[in-house]
Amino acid sequence: MSLSGRFPIDRWNFTTQSVLSVLSEADHLDLTMHQSEQLCNKGDIIFREGAVPSGIFIIKSGKVKKYKTDKGGREQIIYVANQGELIGYHAVLAEERYPDSAAALETSLLCFIPKEDFVEILQRSAPFAHRLLKALSHEFTVMANSISVFAQRTATERLAIALIVLREKYKDMNAISGQEPALDISRADLANMAGIAEENVIRLLKDFKAEGILQTTGRKIHISDITSLIKKSNYH
């Protein structure tokens, strides 16, 4: 079931999938001339906060979590990047160290592009630079939404929003059959995404299950009633 008109999912997703589409064939070839592929297993670190960037990554398949870690070692997941998205380019553009870390949420195939090739095409292609600037501007909206949720929402509302966003991330896997996607995510990652304690996530999932909003099979979550989940989010 589409979320159009029911929940503003566009305010929760980055738009870097469209960035490369504006490149000419020649520019695309030059951008990817020295690319390399890297297969990451679940939990593999792609880059760490504070490291010096040497290039950007394109997610060819799988999902990647971007997160920050506090002094106690607890993660706060700030975004889940999907197939086709670019990650790691903020630090390259700013000529700074990585402001966050990235790790594979599941087995993922990434394409690495050296920063010299990325910067060269960025300087050469006005449409590419414009599209990337537009994507960065939209990301500000996404981050502002996330900050608002953590500051103002209850645990129930945070978890509901996290599940709705994840449903959008996973739904393409079942696009042919039309079935609701299975959200394959650990309770710890779900807690770090919603910004609540893991034990609260477990309790709330049981409550949602009792209300018929979702079903679980092991760690997989199946949304049964998206309308009720949207109501739980209390997002207007």
Residue 236's pLDDT is: 67
Are 71 and 137 found together in one domain? yes
Are 130 and 13 found together in one domain? yes
Structural element, H or E, at residue 58: strand 55-61
Q: Which stretches of the chain score pLDDT less than 70?
A: 1-2, 4, 172-178, 236
59 neighbors 81 (Cβ within 8 angstroms): yes
CATH no. for residue 201? 1.10.10.10
Structural domain for 163, as ranges: 153-233
Residue 15's pLDDT is: 83
CA dist 109 and 38 (Å) reads: 6
Residue 1's pLDDT is: 60
Are 159 and 136 found together in one domain? no
CA dist 213 and 221 (Å) reads: 10
Residue 126's pLDDT is: 95
Structural element, H or E, at residue 30: helix 25-31
CATH no. for residue 130? 2.60.120.10
